[in-house]
Structure 1
């Protein structure tokens, strides 16, 4: 039996490993064993001190609230627990997210400010403020409407509800196709895109004029329109004396000018224009750009000749206006 165990290769291998381990341990220095024993002793001392501390200072027993300690099953069996009823009114009075105060005007959204424009009635008073309306972006939804207003040689794009710069208490309340409506400290006033002063022209000398018209079928044809019994101060000097222009939009987009008679209605009709005609181009320049509209309008205020592309319903035509004020 002993011989069989001695011949077992596993036991032989284990014995060899044991001898090697013992030989390795013998090579370790004495300081290694000393430090190891000191570490174990320190660990045991720390454990003992911790146990002694909790014996001297035990953990206090915190009593559990009765309503939390009550088993849920008991509540379901006996119904709702008896106790003080919840004061719903007191809970509703608590401002969990803070107390709401007055909303400052600048924080009111454009949609809310624009909604107030529906209550604006007819405005007949024209403002006397030193302001000039250079352009409008009209829209059925007033929160998208804008007005270009100049005051004090400074232009700015205003939205509905915004206060006019350097005019405290004056706000833009509505934008229409030909005017902007201002709230001047409680009084509603109109600021027109083109004021009457822009078209007032006077002359004390005798002038003569010629006008010509061409249709879309024959652009080169002309029509001379003699004028009778015209007073000296009524003789037109520029095109703006014959025709008045206002910006026209379709589907919110600028497409040109809508015309109406100027001071000389008779000459306006003799030229071949009709009130409500849409001028889509002037001297070949398309009138679908705000910058072009403004530039052309300034030119027409002093121009004596212009070729107008006119749309009347589904018909398009070319009308040339020529005013000769050389006198004679």
Structure 2
């Protein structure tokens, strides 16, 4: 199957630097303390186990695996969503009568992709396979360039991209076939390219990739990332300037911007290890960002 086009929302221009991704990873473990503390307080109290002096739990010294800890979803397990009996998209799927608006799309390879949907005044980003926050049993099963396929009570239905959104500047862009074509596409659609290796950035943080791999804590001075909750769940991460605002001023971000997903994965469901591996294994990132109620799709190139 050929790669599907990526639908980009270009109402606002610019790129997000890799430091945003690194700060998400850095803040995961720090923020998890507060989240887990709240979860523990909500549980029924459990009496502590009294152990004799010198007694060891299980007869062994306590040992902790760092890799095991990193692989744990730090903000809790993702709520289980009903899985469709068959995710194969049928032919001639009828249009849905549900009052769901498709505000933005990032098409994937059939098993991935993100759709930004509005229903009853609420706008949320959903990954393929997630249950929609609407009455009944409705699951997102496919994301394409101009429409989505849902399963509504075991029947497949189609919802097209909102035409008003298209007139506001949503365009479908075919994947670039070369680096020069990609660069040209970025410049023409986004308007301004932020070079992570320019002197202004390197003067602050050094080599961006080396800093991300070896000294991510250094970025905490320049950027602050905090979780955003909605209906009791982590929705994404708000980005703002740190104690030193210079780096924040060099990138095209605004206070209150909320990062919702990275390469089709909801950031609320990502572990620290997954974020770091993504930074290490790829040099191209597609981010969904919410800004003042508008969903933006931004491409990051390391």
Q: Classify the TM-score, shorter chain.
A: 0.3 to 0.5
Higher relative contact order (CA 8 A, sep 6+): 2
Q: Which has the higher helix share?
A: 1
TM-score relative to the length of structure 2 = 0.32
Q: Which has the higher strand share?
A: 2
